């Protein structure tokens, strides 16, 4: 299977925020090269997401028995959970080529038409961040997905002519971190939708064991458990932390990644027991120490930690909310009792007011929705 890159996949956050921290779920260009060496090449080797993997296996096997391309596939979920890996696995299982691009790279419908016309029969077209595709290109995609045909407009004004162009049957695999931003007509044209979930620590240990074997790292069970517990339920973060701990083990220890070595290395990289980094802890410290736990507005909180409001809202808050350390209320951000305890501070008398909502501590690797939309 070949996987030519028609467009580069950038690792920027949608809001334009770049984060060069050890626990960022985004991947830069250099990290994608390392990830490609660690990616599984079949559903049998793919770890985690058992429900999505099982459903996808049935879709692909049925298509192969019928001798036709499978339905178009939409993979939705937070970054770093394996959407790109599954897209490449689909091509590998079908024995076809995979063409890779990203939504922001398709600015004009002509770009997409050229890409579609170059697809071979049964090829897989993978569009990352498909919710960011330009509207003219999206409308062209409708007809391509349903009828395997595109209309190329030649000329302008009253003399413009639409020339129908037949394209080979193909399978579109779209990946998105924000399924709610997809338009209804586009979402309805996908025959299979897979919702990716955060990984459990035991699943991450299996991911780490496989990666350690490929990287030639001697990883003990307790060292694997220590790294998995700080990886925020995300394989990309787990593999990144493994590489950083490997560096520490080779330079400062005997090369073996044990619990003690992992703890010392992750402490050096400012990743604590829950997977919080320096900025995460700064947000909680400001909320608890300067504002007595809140409520406080996100703009005020951002000024207190010296960051932009979008950085706090888009980068820090999702994990803090999921871990049960912070709550979004109509009046502002509030630190939960779990946040006070995690920072080693006594919980205020009478508890923490959350607008009538009690936030219980959660497993950082589990999936949950924010308490409030505000």
Q: What angle, rounded to 10 degrees, do the helices at 109-117 and 135-147 form?
A: 30
Q: Which residues are annotated as a binding site for Mg(2+)?
A: 84
**Structure tokens belonging to residue 169:** 């049957």
Q: Which residues are annotated as a binding site for DNA?
A: 328, 333
Is position 176 annotated as part of the catalytic site?
A: no
In sequence order, the β-bridge partners of residue 87 are none
- Residue 75 is predicted with a pLDDT of 92
DSSP 30-90: HHHHHHHHH--SSTTT--S-HHHHHHHHHHHHHHHHHTSPPPPEEEESSTTSSHHHHHHHH
CATH match of 278-343 with 1.10.10.10: yes
What's the CA gap between 200 and 221, in Å, rounded? 16
Q: What angle, rounded to 10 degrees, do the helices at 29-38 and 201-215 form?
A: 90
What's the CA gap between 286 and 297, in Å, rounded? 12
The beta strand positions in 220-278, using DSSP E, are 256-257
What's the CA gap between 348 and 345, in Å, rounded? 9
Instruction: Determine which one of 83, 230, 246, 281 is catalytic.
Output: 83
Q: Which residues are annotated as a binding site for ATP?
A: 38-39, 80, 83-85, 146-148, 189, 199, 236
DSSP 116-165: HHTPPTT-EEEEETGGGS-HHHHHHHHHHHHHSEEEEEESSGGG-EEEEE
Please state which CATH number belongs to domain 201-269.
1.10.8.60
- Residue 17 is predicted with a pLDDT of 39
Q: Closest Cα to residue 313, out of 297, 337, 335?
A: 297
38 CB neighbour count, 10 Å cutoff: 17
Is position 128 annotated as part of the catalytic site?
A: yes
- Residue 137 is predicted with a pLDDT of 85
Is position 300 annotated as part of the catalytic site?
A: no
pLDDT values of the chain reduced to their tens digit, one per residue, 374 residues: 444 334 334 344 444 434 445 555 555 555 555 566 788 888 888 988 899 999 999 999 998 898 888 999 999 988 888 899 999 999 888 888 889 988 888 888 778 888 888 888 888 999 999 898 888 888 888 888 888 888 777 666 676 677 778 888 899 999 998 888 888 888 888 999 989 889 999 999 999 999 888 888 888 999 999 999 888 888 999 999 999 999 888 888 888 889 999 999 998 888 888 888 888 888 888 888 888 877 888 888 888 888 888 888 888 888 888 888 888 888 888 888 888 888 888 877 655 555 444 444 444 444 444 433 33
**Structure tokens belonging to residue 320:** 């803090």
Is position 177 annotated as part of the catalytic site?
A: yes
- Identify the burial level of 99 via C-beta atoms within 10 angstroms of its C-beta, where 0-12 means exposed, 13-18 middle and 19 or more buried: buried
Q: Where are the domains of the chain?
A: 49-195, 201-269, 278-343
- Residue 58 is predicted with a pLDDT of 92
Please state which CATH number belongs to domain 49-195.
3.40.50.300
Q: Which residues contact 29 (CB under 8 A, 6 or more apart)?
A: 8, 10, 11
Instruction: Determine which one of 19, 187, 236, 281 is catalytic.
Output: 236
Instruction: Determine which one of 177, 234, 258, 336 is catalytic.
Output: 177
What's the CA gap between 169 and 128, in Å, rounded? 20
Helix (H) or strand (E) holding 111: helix 109-117
The beta strand positions in the chain, using DSSP E, are 73-76, 98-102, 124-128, 149-154, 161-166, 171-176, 192-195, 218-219, 256-257, 326-329, 332-335
| pTM metric for this prediction | 0.76
- Residue 22 is predicted with a pLDDT of 56
Q: Is 267 helix (H, G, I), strand (E, B) or coil?
A: helix
Is position 358 annotated as part of the catalytic site?
A: no
Q: Which residues contact 67 (CB under 8 A, 6 or more apart)?
A: none
């Amino acid at each position: 299977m070949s996987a030519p890159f028609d467009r580069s996949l950038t690792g920027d956050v949608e809001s334009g925020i770049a984060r060069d921290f050890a626990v960022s779920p985004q991947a830069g260009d250099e990290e994608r090269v390392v990830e490609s060496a660690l990616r599984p090449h079949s559903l049998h080797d793919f770890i985690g997401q058992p429900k999505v993997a099982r459903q996808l296996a049935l879709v692909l096997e049925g298509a192969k028995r019928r001798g036709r391309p499978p339905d178009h596939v939409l993979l939705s979920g937070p970054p770093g959970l394996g959407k790109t890996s599954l897209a490449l696995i689909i091509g590998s299982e079908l024995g076809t080529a995979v063409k890779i691009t990203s939504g922001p790279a398709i600015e004009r419908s002509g770009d997409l038409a050229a890409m579609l016309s170059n697809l071979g029969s049964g090829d897989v077209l993978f569009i990352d961040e498909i919710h960011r595709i330009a509207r003219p290109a999206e409308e062209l995609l409708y007809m391509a997905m349903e009828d395997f045909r595109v209309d190329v407009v030649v000329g302008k004004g009253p003399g413009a002519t639409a020339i129908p162009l037949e394209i080979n049957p193909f399978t579109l695999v779209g990946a998105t971190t924000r399924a709610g931003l997809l338009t209804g007509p586009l979402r309805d044209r996908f025959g299979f939708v897979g919702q990716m979930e955060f990984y459990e620590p035991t699943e991450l240990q299996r991911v780490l064991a496989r990666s350690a074997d490929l990287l030639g790292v001697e990883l003990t069970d307790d060292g694997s458990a220590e790294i998995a517990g700080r990886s925020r339920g995300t394989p990309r973060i787990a593999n990144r932390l493994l590489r950083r701990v490997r560096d520490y083990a080779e330079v400062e220890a005997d090369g073996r990644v044990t619990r003690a070595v992992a703890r010392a290395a992750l402490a050096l990289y400012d990743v604590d027991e829950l997977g919080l980094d320096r900025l995460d802890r700064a947000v909680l410290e400001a909320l608890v120490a300067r504002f007595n736990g809140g409520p406080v507005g996100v703009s005020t909180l951002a000024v207190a930690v010296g960051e932009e409001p979008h950085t706090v809202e888009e980068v820090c808050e999702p994990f803090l909310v999921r871990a049960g350390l912070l709550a979004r209320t109509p009046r502002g951000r509030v630190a939960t009792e779990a946040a006070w305890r995690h920072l080693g501070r006594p919980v205020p008398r009478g508890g923490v007011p959350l607008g009538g909502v009690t936030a219980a501590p959660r497993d950082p690797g589990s999936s949950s929705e924010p308490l409030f939309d505000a």
